[in-house]
A = this chain, B = another copy of it.
Amino acid sequence: MSNTADTSTKIMDAAEGYMRTRGYNAFSFRDIAADIGIKTASIHYHFPSKADLGAAVTERYTERFLEHLGPPDAYNHTKQITRYIAAFRSSYSAGDQMCLCGMLGAEVSSLPESMTIVSKEFFVKNLLWLDKIYLSKEGESFSIEQARQNSLRLLALLEGGLIVARSLDGLETFDHLVSQELI
């Protein structure tokens, strides 16, 4: 995001923006080159193919997302869930963006295999993080299966929530949708 970022980072930043708003199949090297003031051939120096660029962006996104969440805090259920929801909410508030892997999950049938693999990893890791939060909910005892069900439900609600919000009234819709989880 910084102005002094190296070219490789600028390329990934621009690509991530396009992938999260338009989708992997709806942006070109030309779009990115124009945005950051280089030529398309220069992109190929940093990322040989579009699939390479897409996979690199997806890996970076997953790393950053989990880093932002921090380790699951077993003793602060409500705060952690609130934080998790806020991570998705900020996708929307920062320019109508989807969660990158929500977008890729929709496009999965038309993606290069290298991308489907790293995209799936996002979901696997998010569910493991959520499981730990739900297993430790204060005063309640959850089985692993119950925790996993809650994890899947929250993840799906948020991914779908971004889709529905984008087609309707945006943040207002998203907030209405998740309000029950924040109690």
Residues of A that sit less than 8 Å from B by CB: 21-23, 25-26, 96, 98, 101-110, 116, 119-120, 123-124, 148-149, 152-153, 155-161, 163-164, 166-168, 173, 176-177, 179-180
Contact, CB under 8 Å: A26 / B107: yes
Q: Which residues of B contact A157 (CB under 8 A)?
A: 153, 156-157, 160
Alpha-carbon distance between A108 and B106 when the two chains are bound, in angstroms: 12
Contact, CB under 8 Å: A156 / B163: yes
Contact, CB under 8 Å: A149 / B22: no
Contact, CB under 8 Å: B177 / A149: yes
CB distance from A176 to the nearest CB of B (A): 6
Q: Which residues of B contact A104 (CB under 8 A)?
A: 167
